[in-house]
Amino acid sequence: MRGRRSRCCVALLLGLWSLPPLALAQEMPATVLQERQQRSQPVWGPRGMVAAGEPLAAAAGAAVLREGGNAVDAAVASSFALAVTLPGSTGLGGGGFLLQWLPGPSPARLQGRAAACAEAAGRERRVGEGQALGLDFREAAAARSRPDQFQAPSGAVDRQRVTRSLQSAAVPGLVAGLLLAQRCYGRLPLRRVLAPAIRLAAEGVPVSRQLSQSLQAAATLLRADPTSRSLFFHADGPALQPGETLRQPALAATLTRIAAQGEAGFYRGATAAALLRLMAAADGLITADDLRSYRARPVTPLEIRFRGHSVLGLPPPAGGVTVLQLLRLLEPLDLAASGLNSAASLHLLVEAMNLVFQQRNARLGDPGGAPFEAQSFLGERALAALRRRIDRQRHRPAAELLKHSQVREGSDTTHLSVIDREGGMVALTSSINFAYGNGISVPAAGFLLNNHMDDFSSRPGSANAFGLVQGAANAIAPGRRPLSSMAPTLVFRPDGSPWIATGSPGGSRIGTTVVQVLLNRLLYGLNLASAVAEARLHSQLLPDRVDLEQGFSLDTQRLLEERGHTLRPSAAMGAANSVEQLRAAEGGGSFGVTDPRRSWALAQPE
């Protein structure tokens, strides 16, 4: 019996062996894909979904959805809550970008809203049966800032001053952005949307292991500032410990003023006065005028087609061009035929990454409210010219495309994605730049300041903290916003229906993270959870090397080295908290995925 069975297996194997290669090629991917699709599973919910970088903030958004709020209400509630529960990643002293799509026509939605909403409506882009809009609430350079502000007499950039001084902070934008979104597109009263953040700040949140560890890691920075020290550390030295409570009464009072007065609760009055006192006590540049004149900018999203899907991203100073250009460059190269994580497809991916970084660093900067000329980045002629520079067999060294540096990624910045029961979607990335920003908290107002001045090119040719060597297009100028990599992204099915909202933290790795998640989902057919979990790599031209997460086979790595790539193992990249809407035929409802790379995130169904 045993003999017969083994003969039968041998026959079966021989049978498979003798099949023509085509048949095998048809068989294998399905099997491989099927297995891969089951490696990780998204959370499912029957209606809306919030995927955010911290559980209490995700729950705050989901509660707002349950009360009849839409995706904008939920995203704003979650983002304000994250400003309380993830103080190292985001906060009222920071800024960011929001990309939304809401079903239906805009005029009905905007009836009876503030005048600023008419401007926003004028920037919307019609996609499918709804309207998409971006909000740029990136921090802005103070009116007194200068292009050479961070250069020492030797001409070298003073890295301490550009990252850790009061001057490293640009005028905060988060509050203006969230309030504009909510006022024009939300459904619930502002007070309701801010209530969870106020409660979390006033009553306190339990300190998680991760929060305690991140405070300890930033101890030198935070303990040097008396306000940060008193907020996050015990009087005798150690950081708040897991299980203890982080109470932020001053932040609760600031949030309460915002709930009562709107923008004036932050950009004027007691909050502004606290910030201005801090600026005046040292060499800070931000003035009352800077605060009063700060506005969030509504922007028309950029749109490309990728394999029949519509993909939306945001123009500079956001990082959408990197994502969209990379997808368009790759589309005709047929990565799917070479297979997920094969040396052939990874080689093309890396070469295309280098090209988009060369474009970004040399040519992109804040267009200052002027329309962005997308054609020379996303037009087919420009793309074809770039594509011709890709050699399928050999890595083109950075020196051939250019002329150095290190890359770092902190645990800062956070991305959240929301879907509501009507299909409305929001992707929102916010940041104070490094973990705990510049480390300086505003006394009596209870929030940390960003250090986003370092995202400008303080001196053309010298690298910022993310190793980005940028040019004059991103020089410091009064009122200007530093170029960002943040890239909230929305994807629509070929029939125009809303499908995926995604984005990530990760500094310069944001765009390449988002693109790999999308390639895994759209091209290789992984489910959303597996698409997010799959190993990632990153290359940004300078330094001329490929950073690899764990999970790429040694054989593949050897093949990449043979093509001329220098490889370096890397810590985890990004944290792409994403949501996906299912069709009725798929059972309906929505999927939520939080990135396993940052274990404190949560996908919370409505």
Q: Which of 78, 79, 485, 527 binds ligand DON (CB under 6 A)?
A: 485
Residue 540 in the binding site for ligand DON (CB under 6 A): no
Output the smallest distance, CB 125 to ligand DON, in A: 23
| Nearest-approach distance from CB 270 to ligand DON, in angstroms | 28
Query: Which of residues 173, 410, 488, 503 is near ligand DON by CB under 6 A?
Result: 410
Nearer to ligand DON, 74 or 486 (CB): 486
Tell me whether residue 410 or residue 543 sits nearer to ligand DON (CB atom). Answer: 410
Residues paired with 311 in a beta bridge: 304, 491
Q: How far is the CB of 342 from ligand DON (least distance, A)?
A: 28
Integer angstrom CA distances of residue 70 from 61, 174, 425, 600: 10, 19, 9, 25
Cα–Cα distance measured from residue 317 to residue 140, given in angstroms and rounded to the nearest whole number: 11
Q: Is 570 in the site for ligand DON (CB under 6 A)?
A: no
Cα atoms in the 13 Å half-sphere on the side-chain side of 115:
0
Q: Which H or E element spans position 286?
A: none
Helices within 429-581 (DSSP H only): 510-518, 528-533, 554-562
Q: Which residue stretch of 9-17, 62-70, 108-116, 404-412 sits at the interface with ligand DON (rule: CB under 6 A)?
A: 404-412
From the list 52-60, 471-479, 484-492, 518-526, the region that binds ligand DON by CB under 6 A is 484-492
Identify which of residues 452 and 565 has a Cβ nearer to ligand DON in the complex.
Answer: 452
- Interface residue with ligand DON among 145, 341, 438, 484 (CB under 6 A) is 484
Distance of alpha carbon 579 from alpha carbon 591, whole angstroms? 6
Tell me whether residue 479 or residue 564 sits nearer to ligand DON (CB atom).
479
Distance (Å, rounded) from C-alpha 321 to C-alpha 301?
10
Amino acid identity of residue 92, one-letter, is L
Selected range binding ligand DON among 144-152, 373-381, 472-480, 505-513, rule: CB under 6 A: 505-513
- Closer CB to ligand DON, 134 or 506, in the complex: 506
Site for ligand DON in 412-471 (CB under 6 A): 412-413, 431, 433, 452, 455
Q: Is 177 in the site for ligand DON (CB under 6 A)?
A: no
Residue choice 45, 61, 88, 507 for contact with ligand DON (CB under 6 A): 507
Inter-axis angle of helices 320-330 and 510-518, nearest 10: 40
* Rounded-to-integer distance, Cα 63 and Cα 580, Å: 19
Least distance in Å: CB of 455 to ligand DON?
5
**Closest distance to ligand DON from the beta carbon of 134 (Å):** 15
- Return all residues near 71 (Cβ < 8 A) that are at least 6 apart: 48, 65, 100, 102, 418, 419, 420, 424, 425, 426
Q: Which of 413, 489, 502, 513 is catalytic?
A: 413
Shortest Cβ distance from residue 560 to ligand DON (Å)?
25
Active site residue 413: yes
The residue (of 88 and 262) whose beta carbon lies closer to ligand DON is 88
Q: Is 134 in the site for ligand DON (CB under 6 A)?
A: no
**Interacting positions 349-388 with ligand DON (CB under 6 A):** none
Choose which of 93, 134, 503, 506 interacts with ligand DON (CB under 6 A): 506
Among the listed ranges 50-58, 248-256, 481-489, 520-528, the one in contact with ligand DON (CB under 6 A) is 481-489
Q: Which residue has the tokens 């086979």?
A: 553
Selected from 162, 398, 486, 514, the binder of ligand DON by CB under 6 A is 486
Distance (Å) of CA 270 to CA 194, 281, 405, 536? 18, 16, 43, 45
Least gap, CB of 429 to ligand DON (angstroms): 8
Q: Candidates 74-82, 278-286, 290-298, 408-416: pick the segment binding ligand DON (CB under 6 A).
A: 408-416
| Minimum gap (Å) between residue 377 Cβ and ligand DON | 18
Residue with tokens 């017969």: 4
Q: Is 140 in the site for ligand DON (CB under 6 A)?
A: no
Q: Cβ 322 to ligand DON, closest distance in Å?
A: 10
What CA–CA distance (Å, rounded) separates 483 from 471? Answer: 11
CB of 436 to ligand DON, least distance (A): 12
Q: Using an 8 Å Cβ cutoff, are 310 and 492 in contact?
A: yes
Of 351, 409, 420, 534, the one binding ligand DON (CB under 6 A) is 409
497, burial (CB in 10 Å: exposed 0-12, middle 13-18, buried 19+): middle
If one asks whether residue 605 binds ligand DON (CB under 6 A), the answer comes out as no
Cβ contact 409:507 at 8 Å = yes
Give every CB contact of residue 47 below 8 A, 6+ residues apart in sequence: 65, 420, 421, 589, 590, 605, 606
Report d(CA 428, CA 599) in Å as an integer: 19
Stretch that binds ligand DON, among 150-158, 370-378, 410-418, 488-496 (CB under 6 A): 410-418
Residue 352 CA to residue 277 CA, distance in Å, equals 48
User: For residue 416, what is the enclosing H or E element?
Assistant: strand 414-419
| Region of residue 64 (phi > 0: left; psi between -120 and 50: alpha; otherwise: beta) | alpha
* 70 vs 414 by CB, closer to ligand DON: 414
Tokens of 29: 């991917």
Total residues interacting with ligand DON, rule: CB under 6 A: 15
Alpha carbons 504 and 506: distance in angstroms, whole number: 6
Residues 320-349 that bind ligand DON (CB under 6 A): none
Contacts with ligand DON, residue ranges (CB under 6 A) = 409-410, 412-413, 431, 433, 452, 455, 484-486, 505-507, 510
Enzyme catalytic residues: 413
